[in-house]
Amino acid sequence: MTLGAQIAWDDTVLPFQLDRSDIRGRIARLDGVLDRVLSQHDYPAPVEALVAEMALLTALIGQTIKLRWKLSLQMRGDGPVRLIATDYYGPQEDGEPASLRAYASFDADRVGERADFSLLGKGYFAILIDQGQGMKPYQGITPLSGGSLAACAETYFAQSEQLPTRFALSYGRSTLPGQADRWRAGGVMLQHMPKASPFVAQEGGSGEGGLLSADDIIDGDEGENWNRANTLLDTVEELELIGPSVQPTELLVRLFHEEAPRVFDPQPVSFGCTCSADRVRQSLSIYSAKDIGHMTDDDGRVTADCQFCGAHYEFDPSTLGFEAENPPEQTDFSDGSA
C-alpha cells in the first residue's frame, strides 16, 4: 500500500451499514490526531493507553452527532487514574473535519507499570451531548464495569439507549520504515438499528451488577443477525484494525462481505481545542476581587493552563472577575461551543 493511500485514511471515521443484518457501524483510524492529543502531556504509558482508548471511542461515537454539536465522554473513578475527559466537536459545515481533544488526571505515585482497567477503581462512565444554544445538554451515566472503557460504552448504550453495541479496538505505538514511532489507533463499532417500537426496560439485566447487555435487548431473527455480525467481528486481527496496510473499506469487505455492506462518506477528524484568553476570562467572571487576589502570583499575574492542549495564559488581575477595575469586552459564548 502506498504512503499516499495510508495518509488518505488516517484520522478518519468511515460510517457503514450492513443491510442484511440491519446493523450500522463505523471504522475509525486515528494517527496524527492521537499523537497530538498524547504529545500535549507527559503521561505514563498506562495512562497513555487509557487516553488512547477513550479518544478512539469518542471518535467512533461522535461521528453520529450533528453539525456544531459537541459530544463529551468522561470517566471518573477513585483509582490512580481519577479522570479521563474527551470532547468531540461536530464540523461547523458539511465537508469540514470534526475536532477531538482529550486529557487525563492521575496520581503518578500510584499508577505504576500496570496498564489495565483496575487503574480507574470504582466510579462512573458518562456521555454528554451539547446541542447548542437554547438546548438542554443531554447526560447519561453508567457505572464503571466490564473490564474496559469499551465495555463501559457498550453498557451505556444497552442501559441508557437500549441499543445493542459492540466495539473492537486496537491502539499503541507503531513504527513505519524510515519514520519515528508514533501512536496509531483503529476500531470498529457495531450498533443494531433502533426498533420501531420502544424497548421496555426490564428489572435487572445479565450484565455486571445487573446492568443490561445486548442479549437482554434483542432476540429472534434480530438476535441471530446480531450474533452473526459479532462472530464475524471476532475474527478481526489487531493489525487489521490499526492499519496502515489495510484500508477501512478493504477491512469492511474482509469482515462482512456476506452482510451486504454499504459505506457512506468518511468524516475527517483533526486535533482541536477551543480554549482562548476570552474563554478563560469568562470562566473567572464569577469570582470577586478578593478571590482573584488569592489567585494572583508573586509577579502580580493570574495564570491559567489549558488541561487539553497545554496553552498558557497570563492576565492582569485588575481585568478579571465581576469586580474588575478594567474589564475587557466580553465575548458571547452562549452558542455552547466552549
The mean pLDDT value for 89-110 works out to 92
What's the whole-number average pLDDT of the chain? Answer: 86
C-alpha cell at 178: 524510515
pLDDT at 215: 74
Helix (H, G, I), strand (E, B) or coil at 195: coil
pLDDT 10s digits, 197-233: 444 445 567 777 777 777 778 878 888 999 999 999 9
pLDDT at 177: 67
pLDDT at 1: 37
pLDDT 10s digits, 144-186: 999 999 999 999 999 988 899 999 999 988 766 666 778 899 9
CATH number of 3-271: 3.55.30.10
Residue 116's CB: how many other CB atoms inside 10 A? 11
Class for the domain spanning 279-338 = alpha beta
pLDDT over 80 (residue 329):
no
* Domain segments of the chain as ranges: 3-271, 279-338
The mean pLDDT value for 253-270 works out to 95
pLDDT at 3: 40
The mean pLDDT value for 284-295 works out to 84
Cβ-proximal residues to 87 (8 Å cutoff; 6+ apart), any chain: 58, 70, 71, 72, 100, 101, 102, 274, 308
pLDDT at 332: 43
Of residues 13 and 4, which shows the higher confidence score? Answer: 13
